[in-house]
Structure 1
Amino acid sequence: MSEDKIQDPKQFEASLQALETLVDQLERGDLTLEESLAAFEQGIRLSRGCQQALETAEQRIRILSEASDQAEPEPFSGTADRAQSD
């Protein structure tokens, strides 16, 4: 998985699981320096992708949950009305 946008919840879950696996490998300490650096680099990419997905979800939730008390329904004016006023 790359740094691309994570849009599918299953992709997010897979990225998160892969990140947890990398952290476990790094914590065990049995990787070579080169392997550790590669795992760390991959972990950064995964972390950024997950963070971006969470920020997008948070923004969507914020937009959906904001109630606009000032919004009033307006009658729909058809295209015929619009054409006459132009």
Structure 2
Amino acid sequence: MAERDERSPDLAEGEAASMDFAATVERLEQLVERLESGELSLEGSLAAFEQGVGLARDAQRRLDEAELKVRTLIEGPEGNVELEPFAAPPTEDDGER
């Protein structure tokens, strides 16, 4: 049986808020790997899952805030929002030869 690691590195509440979005996503990926490894005890898995839920909520909140900022930036002079489809920048493969 795999060695159990009952220690679950918990982030302080303020620490999660100070992480940038990329660090939050990276931390979520690490938690998923630990959960999928099967090395955690039930208690450790529950603690990791709880931490992951908090990080996922934080990431979603940040995405919602970013969307609101973008909408604010593209708001028209009369207050109407002019939504335009996002066109991804062309990649090297898209160029004509």
TM-score normalized by the length of structure 1: 0.66
4+ residue runs over 6 A deviation: none
- Which residue number corresponds to residue 64 of structure 1? 73
Identity of aligned residues (%): 43
- Which stretch of the first structure deviates more once superposed, 40-49 or 21-30? 21-30
Q: Which protein shows a greater Rg?
A: 1
> How many pairs were matched up?
68
What secondary structure, in the 3-state scheme, does the structure 2 residue paired with 1:67 have? coil
CA distance in 1, matches of 2:35, 2:66: 29
TM-score normalized by the length of structure 2: 0.59
Choose between structure 1 and 2 for higher RCO, CA contacts under 8 A separated by at least 6 residues: 1
- Which residue number corresponds to residue 55 of structure 1? 64
Match of 2:43 among 30, 34, 43: 34
**Unaligned ranges ≥5, structure 2:** 1-10, 80-97
RMSD of aligned Cα (Å): 2.4
- Which residue number corresponds to residue 34 of structure 2? 25
